[in-house]
Amino acid sequence: MKILRVEANNRKHVFEVRTSRESLTFPYEKANPAPSSTDRITKVFVDTELGREAFTYSLASGAEGSVHIDSVLEYNEDPSYMAELTMYQLTQEARARFERSQLSAVRSRDGLGLPQASSTGSWSQRTTPSRSGSCSRFSIFWEPRWRWPSGIAGVEQADNA
C-alpha cells in the first residue's frame, strides 16, 4: 500500500496519513523519536526512497524518524493487515511447534490425511498476463491428479482428472 499524502496535526498530536483506500492517523507518541512541545516537527514528507510506503519527519533538534505504513495499519487495526499479520504469526508458531515435535513431514501428512506427495500429476506452463495486458510472463504449475480423501469436513469431492 502506498502513501499518497501525510500531514502533521499539532492540535491533535497525530500524523494524518492518506492512502488510496483511506485516511488514517498515527499518534506522535508512537513515533520514534517522539515529537514534543519542546521538540516540534519541522518537516514531514512521503519518503520516495522507501517506496512511498513510509513517511519521514524532522524535528527541531535535528533528529529524524520514519514510520512505515505497516505501523500505521497495525495501530489502526486495519482488518486486511491484521488478517495477514495473524496468518504470519500462526505460520511461525506452527513451524516452531513442528520443529519441536520431532515428527517427520511424512508422519505429519499422514496424520492429517493429506494425499501423498508421489501422487500422479503433470507440470504445465501457463501464460499469465502482465499489468500491461501482454502475455509475455509464464508460470509453471503442478496439476495433481488425485482426489481428497473422503471424510475431511468441508472438502467437496471434485474430479481433477
pLDDT of amino acid 45: 94
Higher pLDDT, 101 or 88: 88
pLDDT of amino acid 94: 84
Alpha-carbon gap, residue 58 to 68, rounded angstroms: 15
Phi, psi dihedral angles at 28 (to 5 degrees): -55, -40
Residue 59 lies inside a defined structural domain of this protein: yes
Residue 26 lies inside a defined structural domain of this protein: yes
Q: What average pLDDT does this structure show over 9-34? A: 91
Residue 61 lies inside a defined structural domain of this protein: yes
pLDDT of amino acid 161: 44
Residue 16 lies inside a defined structural domain of this protein: yes
Whole domain around residue 71: which residue ranges? 3-75
pLDDT of amino acid 105: 67
Residue 116 lies inside a defined structural domain of this protein: no
> For 100, how many CA atoms within 13 A lie in the half-sphere containing its CB?
6
pLDDT of amino acid 149: 56
User: Strands, DSSP E only, in 70-146?
Assistant: 121-128, 137-144
Residue 96 lies inside a defined structural domain of this protein: no
Residue 28 lies inside a defined structural domain of this protein: yes
pLDDT of amino acid 138: 47
Domains in the chain, number: 1
What type of residue is 29? E
Q: What is the largest CA-CA distance in the chain?
A: 71
* Alpha-carbon 28 to chain mean position: 24
Higher pLDDT, 106 or 30: 30
